[in-house]
Structure formats: structure tokens, C-alpha cells
Amino acid sequence: MTASALERIKVYYLEKLPFNKVLGIDIDLLDYESGQAVTSFNMTKELIGNSTAGILHGGVTASVIDLTGGLSALICCAKIHHGKPPEVLDKKLASSATIDMRVDYLRPGQGRSFQCKSRVIRAGARIVVAKIDLYNEKETRIATGTATYLIA
Amino acid sequence: MTASALERIKVYYLEKLPFNKVLGIDIDLLDYESGQAVTSFNMTKELIGNSTAGILHGGVTASVIDLTGGLSALICCAKIHHGKPPEVLDKKLASSATIDMRVDYLRPGQGRSFQCKSRVIRAGARIVVAKIDLYNEKETRIATGTATYLIA
Amino acid sequence: MTASALERIKVYYLEKLPFNKVLGIDIDLLDYESGQAVTSFNMTKELIGNSTAGILHGGVTASVIDLTGGLSALICCAKIHHGKPPEVLDKKLASSATIDMRVDYLRPGQGRSFQCKSRVIRAGARIVVAKIDLYNEKETRIATGTATYLIA
Amino acid sequence: MTASALERIKVYYLEKLPFNKVLGIDIDLLDYESGQAVTSFNMTKELIGNSTAGILHGGVTASVIDLTGGLSALICCAKIHHGKPPEVLDKKLASSATIDMRVDYLRPGQGRSFQCKSRVIRAGARIVVAKIDLYNEKETRIATGTATYLIA
């Protein structure tokens, strides 16, 4: 049941959200108990935001921080609706949304591949707050963020 | 001279930043005096972040808010380096960067086309803060943001 | 009824919250229709955060931005519970809370008296987002902020 | 020399900033190498922001987050100006300022005493970003924040 909820979240994110395909996002981990989520993606020419430096576009960084924190929010949503029919869960997942987000750009987005890690710092019945960090393949933290989500 | 500085910013944004092409960004206005910037883009299937609702991906919203505020920061940068050789200006523009950003998602990102407007609320020698709003073609405000930039 | 709801908010803020007395906050306006709120306070020695410059402590600025936006949130809360008994409304008001806030310090907090203005930019059944500006007596904007509130 | 720089920061914060006395702030730790700062304060009737619940005013939380992160910024400032005469350092410390801050209110501010811990996540020549957490005496995290500082 739990595995099935996580599977629904994965399918929803990777197959139904076209912009996640543009970013080339993969999901490395979704932890039901803690709400932790880990995503990864590779640098491609399309994701560049500074031609001289060849670094990630700030919008890519913000997008990945938002969507990885969003996975944590969806896990919290799935836990709250545990036991309900899949079609109800799908509807709840699709109605959850980001309320606001802060992104701090700590270092230039240099790297060949990136990993983004989110953990839940507030898990309410309606509000989930996640803390999210983006690292490159050398484990240098490139950006950090905090995002607030409304879960249905 | 001024027109030429704005032209350099335009070329830099529209031709040298691949991710801006993915987003399909166009620049409607760059105002040298006030630092105001206006960009626009059309909804495409690629930019969708919720398949049921057919709305903008939160990452697209964040990206456009960051890059439109960034245009305001670049105008401020160009004003500070007024009179310097073009190659110096190009270097300064390329070294300017977002420090941090907050995005508030006010309404679902529904629409056929979008316009993003940025105005400068702090213009220092090093720090520029911009206030940015994203509207759809019905002039409904979808999101608002505040971003802080370090200018070289 | 409406006037009475606004009166309850005023009493709650000015008499029951000791820290608002420390700040010396007064309420200039609470607009039921729009949710707009305006507060004011005078500079005192106690509120100084930089002895050389004699300017407002950043914490005072943040406090006033939070509490003025909070007044907008309480008005939205009162509107949602319109018609319910006063003791129910009191309970709802007391359970509303700030979720998160961003403050931008635009200029040094110089002045003899200050006015803080909040307007609602998102009014949901649960979530209220307010945009808040702090001015000195010369109408120089010293700080701006955005805050998200959970209303009960 | 280093000890003396930290001593100057302590004196500046505890004796020259009146609002820090209102809050009853004490400094538990200033670490020159890492930039870490720890402050503490006790609950008093004056700091209450919700009479029913007897919890900290959100403005107090924001104030302490701002000032504790500010201590980290001042340590970074002192390191950059290492070796310069005390009067130069004093001037630099007094000209450093918060650019912006985000506060997330995670749990009601209940407690008898509080500790606030800040660590540096970006240490530039001009820009310092700190991540700050506020705990009560039971080590429950009440709030978290991120703040950006301009150092002179």
C-alpha cells in the first residue's frame, strides 16, 4: 500500500509533468517514514544560464529545489490519506501546490551531474515545509532553499 | 551608448543563455532610467507542471521571476559602468548573479501567454533588489517575487 | 457586527499582546473589505539597533512587518467566520499564526515616526499572503516584506 | 587579536544596541574559525505575542534570528579586516547590515528559555549568508531562518 503510494507519486512526477522531462529529473529516493526525497539530473547544454561560465541557469536550480521539496510534500499528503482509494489519492496529489519558496544561490552551478535532497521540517495537516539542498557530483552545495506547500 | 548597453543585455539574454530559449522568453521592455524590465512567453506543452490542470510548472514561474528581475539588475549594472568599453561591460554583466529569491505562488498558472514585470526597489553599488510580478493574458497576477542580486 | 469584529481584533492586538506594547504599536486603519491594515509607532531609544547611526533595530522592523501583515490575516479570518458568536471568533483569531515571512531591508531605519501598511495579495480559506511596507515620516520606504499566514 | 575582535563584537551587541537589552539577549558562543554564533534569552512576560497560549511574539523570534545571524556576519567581517586597527574594525562592524531574511515559524514558541544557533553557509568578501535555528530548553526547534548580510 505504502509502496504503491510512492509508486503513484513517481509516475505522476516523471511521466505526467512535461517540464520535469525538460529538466531530465530522475527520482533516487522517496522515504515514506521521514518524507525525505532525493532527485538527480545531468548537466546538458539546454540547462545552461551563463554561456561564459557554463553553469546552471538559476531557474533550473529553483525548479529542482521546488520539485524536490514538492516530493516531500506529496509523501506527507500520501501519509495523511493512507488507506483511501488510489483515485482519491491521485486527486489529492494533483491538488497539492507550492505556496512560497526561498532559494539561496550559494556557489556557481558548476558540475556534470547534480543531486537534490529534501527533508521535511514541518509536517502539518495542511502545511508542509521542506528544506532542500542542491549538490554537484563533488558534493559541493550549490544552493539551498526552504519551501512551504499546501497539501490537499 | 545607453541603447547599446541595453542591446548588449538583450543579446546576452536571448542568444547566449540556452535555458531562456527553452522557456521561450522574449524581452518586451528594458528601461534604462528606472531599471524596469518586462518579459513575455507563451504557454507550451513543455512548460506544464500539472497535467490535470494544464498549468505552468512552478519551476517555470520561478525561472521567469528570477530572469526578469535579473534584467533589472543588469540594467543597474550597465548604469554603474556607463562609459566603460563594451568588453568590460560584457564581463560585468556575465559576473552578476542572483543571491537569493522568494517566490509566492498566488494563483494556479493558467493562461495562453504570460507577461512578467520587474521593478527595482533597491539600487546599490553592489546590491540590487527587484520586485517581480507574473501575469497571464487576462492580467491575473499568478505569482510575485522578490530577488536580491549581486552586481559586479 | 463587522465593526465589532474589527474592534475585537484591535483589543486583541493592543491590549493582549505585551510585545506590541514594547514596540509602542498603534493601529491607524483596519479595512474590512480589502483586508488592508495600517499601523504606526514612534522611534524610542529602546528600539535602536545601531548606536552610531541611531536607526531601528532590524528586529523591530521585522516585528512590525509581521504584526501588520498579521492584522490583514485576522481581518480575512474575521470575514470567513462572519456571523459566528464572538467567543468563536476570539478563538479563531488566537489560533491564527504566521507560517513564514521575508523581510527586505531597503534603507537604514532612520526616522522619528514610522507607518507600516499591509495589503492582502492572496486570500484563501486557510492561507493568507500579505505584502507589507514600512515607511518613515518622510514617506521613505525603509523595508518591505511578504508574509504567509495560516488562518484557523 | 582574534579574541579582541570577538570581544569588540560582544561589547557592541550587548552594550550598544538597546533593543538587544529589551530582548534580554546573551551571547553563549562566537567561533572565529567557523563563524558560528549562539545566543540565548529567557521568556519574560514582555516577549509574549499570544496571551492565551503564552508563546513568543513572532517578532521576537524574527529579531533573535536576525541578530544571531548578524553575529555570524560580524565574525566574517572581523576576519576580513584582521590586523586592522580597532577603530577601523568598529566602523566596519557598525556599517554591516542585514539585506534580507526569511523566517519559518515551525512550532508555537513555547518555553522558559531559548537558544538560537547560527552557522555561515556563504562567506564572501561582501555577502554573508547564515542559516539560523531557534530552540527552546527542550531542544524543540521553534523556528528556522536564512538571512543575507552585506559586510562593509
Residues found in chain A: 152
Measured distance CA(C16)–CA(C79) in Å, rounded? 21
Q: Does the beta carbon of A45 lie under 8 angstroms from any beta carbon of chain C?
A: no
User: What is residue C113's DSSP assignment?
Assistant: E
Q: What pLDDT shows up at residue C62?
A: 98
Let me know if B37 is exposed, middle or buried by CB neighbors in 10 A (0-12, 13-18, 19+): buried
C-alpha cell belonging to residue D116? 538560537
Chains touching D, CB cut-off 8 Å, 3+ pairs: A, B, C
Measured distance CA(C117)–CA(C137) in Å, rounded? 13
User: What is residue B16's DSSP assignment?
Assistant: S
CB A5 within 8 A of CB A78: yes
Best CA proximity match to D70, nearest among D138, D106, D112, D23: D23
Tell whether the torsion through CA atoms of A78, A79, A81 and A87 is positive or negative.
positive
Q: Does the beta carbon of A29 lie under 8 angstroms from any beta carbon of chain C?
A: no
Q: What is the mean pLDDT of chain A?
A: 94
Q: What pLDDT shows up at residue B71?
A: 97
Q: How confident is the model at residue D54 (pLDDT cuts 50, 70, 90)?
A: confident
User: What is residue B51's DSSP assignment?
Assistant: T
pTM: predicted TM-score of the whole model, two decimal places: 0.96
Q: Give which of C99, C101, C102, C119 to mutate to test B binding, by max B Cβ within 10 Å.
A: C102
Tell whether the torsion through CA atoms of D83, D39, D25 and D27 is positive or negative.
negative
Chains touching A, CB cut-off 8 Å, 3+ pairs: B, C, D
CB B7 within 8 A of CB B21: no
Q: What pLDDT shows up at residue A1?
A: 52
CB B76 within 8 A of CB B132: no
Let me know if B34 is exposed, middle or buried by CB neighbors in 10 A (0-12, 13-18, 19+): exposed
Measured distance CA(C50)–CA(D98) in Å, rounded? 12
Chain A with chain C: Cβ pairs closer than 8 A: 21
Each domain of chain B, given as residue ranges in start order, spans: 2-150
End-to-end CA separation in angstroms for chain A: 19
Q: Does the beta carbon of B124 lie under 8 angstroms from any beta carbon of chain C?
A: no
Segment D63-86 mean pLDDT:
96
Percent of chain D with pLDDT over 90: 85
DSSP string, C43-89: --GGGEEETTTTEE-HHHHHHHHHHHHHHHHHHHHHHHTTTS-HHHH
Residues of B in contact with C102 (CB under 8 A): 102, 146
Q: Give which of D121, D128, D132, D140 to mutate to test A binding, by max A Cβ within 10 Å.
A: D121
Q: Does the beta carbon of C148 lie under 8 angstroms from any beta carbon of chain A?
A: yes
Q: What is the mean pLDDT of chain D?
A: 94
- Tens-digit pLDDT profile for residues A26-42: 999 999 999 999 999 99
Chain A with chain B: Cβ pairs closer than 8 A: 125
Give the containing element (helix H, strand E) for B138: none
Q: What pLDDT shows up at residue C97?
A: 95
Residues of B in contact with D98 (CB under 8 A): none
Residues found in chain C: 152
Buried b (16+ CB within 10 A) or exposed e, C83-109: eeeeeebbebbbebbbbbbbbbbbeeb
pLDDT, block means (10 residues), chain B with 152 residues: 84 89 96 97 93 89 98 97 92 94 97 98 97 98 98 92
CB B107 within 8 A of CB B26: no
Contact D129 A122 (CB under 8 A): no
Q: Which residue of A has its CA nearest to B57?
A: A19
Residues of A in contact with D146 (CB under 8 A): 102, 104, 144, 146
Which has the higher per-residue pLDDT, D64 or B94? D64
Residue ranges in chain C modelled with pLDDT below 70: 1
ipTM value for the complex: 0.95
Percent of chain A with pLDDT over 90: 85
Residues near B39 by Cβ (< 8 Å), separated by ≥ 6? B25, B26, B27, B28, B64, B67, B68, B71, B115, B116
Q: Does the beta carbon of D129 lie under 8 angstroms from any beta carbon of chain B?
A: yes
Q: How confident is the model at residue D51 (pLDDT cuts 50, 70, 90)?
A: confident
Tell whether the torsion through CA atoms of B12, B18, B22 and B23 is positive or negative.
negative
End-to-end CA separation in angstroms for chain B: 19
Q: Does the beta carbon of A150 lie under 8 angstroms from any beta carbon of chain C?
A: yes
Chains touching B, CB cut-off 8 Å, 3+ pairs: A, C, D
Q: Is the pLDDT of residue D3 over 80?
A: no
Q: What pLDDT shows up at residue D52?
A: 77
Q: How confident is the model at residue D134 (pLDDT cuts 50, 70, 90)?
A: very high
Q: Does the beta carbon of A54 lie under 8 angstroms from any beta carbon of chain B?
A: no
Contact B104 A100 (CB under 8 A): yes
> What's the topology of domain C2-150?
Thiol Ester Dehydrase; Chain A (3.10.129)
Measured distance CA(B107)–CA(B117) in Å, rounded? 17
Q: Which residue of A has its CA nearest to C126?
A: A126
Q: What pLDDT shows up at residue A134?
A: 98
